[in-house]
Every structure is written in structure tokens, then in C-alpha cells.
Amino acid sequence: MSHAYHEPHEPLELPPPPPPFQRDYLLPWQSSPPPEPAAPRFPAAGTRAQTPGRHRDLRRLRTSYRVLRRVSTLAALGYFTAFLALSTYAPGLMGRDVGVGGLNLGLLLALTQLPIALLSLVLYERTARRTVDPLAAELRRRSRPTDTAVRPSSRGTGR
């Protein structure tokens, strides 16, 4: 079997590359042209945000909300934890008679847990309306677009 020298194959001719995408050309599965590329979400490094102080306001809102949550949670859970600790470590104190129809201190503290929890909820709501809600409303007001003609109206939508 002799190996004969073969001529190299001619290079394959590839089809020309497709032309660059044209915005007005729709592919068969498209119903509308693709949207324009969005502007970057974050400003370039070294530039200031458009609304200076906005982060500070958000921090104030988060901080006031966090303090409100912690105080109200610790108030309600603190009372319950104190009740459990007294029940465990001071049964003699919890068994003392308070003088109202055979009611002892443990039972009285147990019955006041629900009113304490409800009071905690009422104080939470009241404090939130005085401290957190005004901050949130101010941020919401400032973040709305100034041009009202662009905003869609919810009137007449039939929903």
C-alpha cells in the first residue's frame, strides 16, 4: 500500500458574518423592537449622587425603625421572661396571696401578660406614627417624580 501525496484541500469558504443588528429589524419571534439599553444604575466612580443626603435620610429611617422594633420587642418579651424567671426561681414569691379572692401573685402576673402585650402594640403603633412614618413620608415625597404629566393615572383603568 503506497501512500500517495495528496494535494491539500482548498480552504472552506465560510459565509460572510451577519451585518450588525439593526434596531428596526425584527426577528420572527419578536413582537416589538428590543428596548434601548438602560443607563447604568450607579454613578461612575468619583461622582456624587444626584440627591446628596439621601443615604443619610435612609439611614435615619432604618435606625429609628430598628430602635422602635427592639424597644417594643424587648418590652413585651422582657415582661414574659421576668414572669418565667420569677416562676422558676422564686416560687414562694409567686405563690403569695394578693388578697383578691384567693388570687396569688403568679396568677395575677400571668393574667396581665395579654394586657401588657396589647399595650406594647399600642405604644409601638403610636411611636411609629410619631417617629418612623413622618420620615418615610418625607422620603416618599422627595422620591416622587416632579413632572406629573409623565406619571400614569390610575383613574379610568376599569380595575
What span, in angstroms and rounded, lies between the C-alpha atoms of 32 and 19? 20
What span, in angstroms and rounded, lies between the C-alpha atoms of 76 and 34? 54
Model confidence at 51: pLDDT above 80: no
Query: What region, left, alpha or beta, does residue 103 occupy, with left being phi > 0 and alpha being psi -120 to 50 degrees?
Result: beta
What pLDDT shows up at residue 4?
Answer: 60
What pLDDT shows up at residue 56?
Answer: 82
3-state secondary structure 113-154: HHHHHHHHHHHHHHHHHHHHHHHHHHHHHHHCCCCCCCCCCC
Span 4-13, average pLDDT: 67
- Tell me phi and psi for residue 57, to 5 degrees: -65, -40
Other residues' Cβ atoms within 10 Å of the Cβ of residue 139: 14
Span 64-71, average pLDDT: 87
Between 49 and 67, where is the model more confident?
A: 67
CA R_g for the chain: 35
What pLDDT shows up at residue 89?
Answer: 94
pLDDT band at 72; cut points 50, 70, 90 = confident
What pLDDT shows up at residue 69?
Answer: 87
Between 99 and 43, where is the model more confident?
A: 99
pLDDT tens, position by position, 89-144: 998 999 898 887 888 999 999 999 999 888 888 988 998 899 888 888 888 888 77
Model pTM score: 0.50
104: helix, strand or coil? strand
pLDDT band at 50; cut points 50, 70, 90 = low
What pLDDT shows up at residue 82?
Answer: 92
**Residues sharing a CB contact under 8 Å with residue 11, sequence separation 6 or more, in sequence order:** none
